[in-house]
Structure 1
Amino acid sequence: MLRLLSTKRWLTWLLVATLWATICLVAGRWQWNRWQEKSTIQERIDTNYDARPVPFGDVLEDGRAPAKDDEWKQVRGTGTYLGDVRMVRNRPGPGGDFGYETVDVFAVDGIKVLVDRGWVTNGSSAAKPSSVPASPRGQVTVTGWVRPSEKSLGRPPVEGQLSSISTADAEKATGEQLVDGYVRMRTESMPDGTTPPRPQALERPSQGMAAGINLSYAIQWWLGIVAGYAFVLMRARREYLDGLETADPASAGEVQAQEGATAARPRREKKRRQRIWDEEDE
């Protein structure tokens, strides 16, 4: 068997199996890293989502993006909306439908920051939203979660709309100097304690099955390493046994008997019990 595997043909097949194993190793490692990344995000959400709110200015400041550990941290502050509402298009909402998210510039703690107030459905077409609750006037207390600025999609500007919650795009559209990042609103309250009308609240994020799928893929890729070598070795063994059978059928049978040491033994026949009605038939 070893002599057969050392021939040029089977060394080539072992090389192919090694290349396949390398691909499986790299792909499995990539899926493993994706699983770890999503698990880290979920851990950050679980830690920060319901933690005690801190002032906006403690987390968000001019010239600095939110730190990774600050993502999904709760902030609270009293300020005013500038009323420069922008609709962010093609956003998935509860139930998987697509619509718009409503953002407005919020002046608080000496900074200006985008606040995502929630989600609304499309109107008669996807070109514009349905009715949008206006941002409250005057002093309002906002509680929400810190999010990093989204990547600009580089699409042509549309009046009153944004293609993503990109700080750079929002600055161009509003003419305001904004901090890097934005806040996804949880609650709003007026000085008298009342809650103004608002768009539909966004659901709590969860990596859910997404992380588990990456872990499953990683394990499958790594099992592919074993499968590749096993396939080559099984084919080589079959050729080796066929060669033995051609040269000496008796020795081939002997090798197969040794390798399959658990050959089935003849089963003992059970003695048939004679039943009363059998005697009557006689």
Structure 2
Amino acid sequence: MSRPRRWPLLIIVTLVAALGVIGFASLGTWQVKRLHWKVALIERVDARVHAPAQPAPDAAEWPSITREGDEYRHVTLHGTFLNDDEVQVYTPSDFGPAYWVLTPLLRDDGTTVLINRGVVPEELRDPATRKAPMGEQTVTGLLRISEDKGWLFSQDNRPEDGAWYRRDVAEIAAAKDLTTAPYFVDQEKTDNDSWPRGGQTVIKFRNAHLSYALTWFALALMVLAGYALFLRQELRRDPLQA
């Protein structure tokens, strides 16, 4: 008496293989999309940071500021620093635990822009340990978009304690009772020996998406090959065998 082929096993293996191929292929496709996004980002940033500095957007332009259209623009602006409203935002750095020094700049037109003047080591966090910029200043740097969302495991800002962990323009402005631009400017390095140390903007981005995509597609092919081997052996199996 012949025995039925192992259909339950065949169905289960087919479903598992289909899920594996679809899942790995989807991850590979996602990495290809990320690759195109990263290449476009690198090209856009490279073009903007090396372009001649242009006047920073004024109040009339603020509503149209976007990450895609404006971030990393090379800009310049003039004004007077409001040193009493400085905040320090914690950041890990090449100098160990450190702080970004963000100071509002009162522009000639009466508007205010937060300037990230650079990084200071922990022992220089207190403004009293540093010389504050006085009088009319010219600032050149890169336009950055407000960090209004935290990263994984990042702490929330605690304005009431003076503890800042991200450069959230709106939150800083509210704490200091200021009306500021919806962006901040990373100031360029002006003096190799001075603090804060400007010019710390990360403008080189790791791009490993192609290798990730190839890995996921290779896994999809491996699953498909394994399923084909199983199917071949299963179809050749003698139905009379146990």
Query: Normalization by structure 2: what TM-score?
Result: 0.80
CA contact (8 A) 1:64 1:179 kept: no
Deviation for aligned residue 1:196:
10
Partners of 1:226 and 1:129 lie apart in 2 by 58
1:101 — aligned with what? 100
2:195 alignment partner, one of 186, 191, 198 = 198
How do residues 48-63 of structure 1 correspond to structure 2 at under 5 angstroms?
A: 48-57=48-57, 61-63=61-63
Q: Map residues 74-223 of structure 1 onto 2, 5 A cutoff.
A: 74-83=74-83, 84-89=85-90, 91-94=91-94, 97-110=96-109, 111-123=111-123, 133-153=130-150, 154-187=156-189, 197-208=194-205, 210-212=206-208, 214-223=209-218
Task: Report the CA distance between 1:100 and its aligned residue.
Answer: 0.6
Matching residue of 1:278: none
The one-letter amino acid paired with 2:214 is I
- What is the aligned-residue identity percentage? 24
Unaligned runs of 5+ in 2: 151-155
Contact residue 59 and residue 181 of structure 2 kept, 8 A: no
In 2, Cα distance between equivalents of 1:60 and 1:205: 29
The question of 1:33 aligning with 2:33 is answered yes
The answer to whether the 8 Å contact 1:39/1:207 transfers is no
* Conservation of the 8 A alpha-carbon contact between 1:49 and 1:74: yes
Q: How many residues are paired up?
A: 230
Higher relative contact order (CA 8 A, sep 6+): 2
Deviations 1:101-120 (A, max 9, x none): 10100122522110001111
Q: Structure 1 length as normaliser, TM-score? A: 0.70
Report the 3-state secondary structure (helix = DSSP H, G, I; strand = E; otherwise coil) of the residue aligned with 1:203. coil
Deviation at 1:171, TM superposition (A): 1.1
Compute the displacement of 1:51 (Å): 0.7
Q: Secondary structure at the match of 1:35?
A: helix
**Residue 224 (structure 1) aligns with:** 219
Q: 1:180 to 1:132 in 2, by over 3 A?
A: farther
Residue type at the aligned position of 2:159: P
Structure 1: give runs of 5+ residues left out of the alignment.
Answer: 190-194, 247-282
**SS of corresponding position for 1:123:** helix
- Offset at residue 143 of structure 1 (A): 0.4
- 1:16-27 equivalences in 2 (<5 Å): 16-27=16-27
- Report the counterpart of residue 72 of structure 2 in structure 1: 72
Q: Tell me the alpha carbon deviations over residues 12-60 of structure 1, each in whole angstroms, 9 at most, x when there is no partner.
A: 3223211111111222222222222222221111101121001123698
| Greater mean deviation of Cα atoms: 25-34 or 215-224 | 25-34
SS in 1 for 2:182: coil
Q: 1:36 to 1:133 in 2, by over 3 A?
A: farther
Answer yes or no: is the 8 Å Cα contact 2:100–2:118 preserved in 1.
yes
Residue identity in the other structure for 1:26: S
Q: Cα offset for 1:136?
A: 0.8
Tell me how far apart the structure 1 counterparts of residues 104 and 59 of structure 2 sit (CA, whole Å).
17
Letter matched to residue 202 of structure 2: P
Summarize the Cα distance change of 1:5–1:15 in structure 2 as closer, same or farther, 3 Å threshold. farther
Range with bigger deviation, 8-17 or 133-142: 8-17
**TM superposition shift of 1:71:** 1.2
Radius of gyration: which is bigger?
A: 1
Structure 1 vs Structure 2 CA RMSD: 3.2
Change (3 A) 1:18 1:36: same
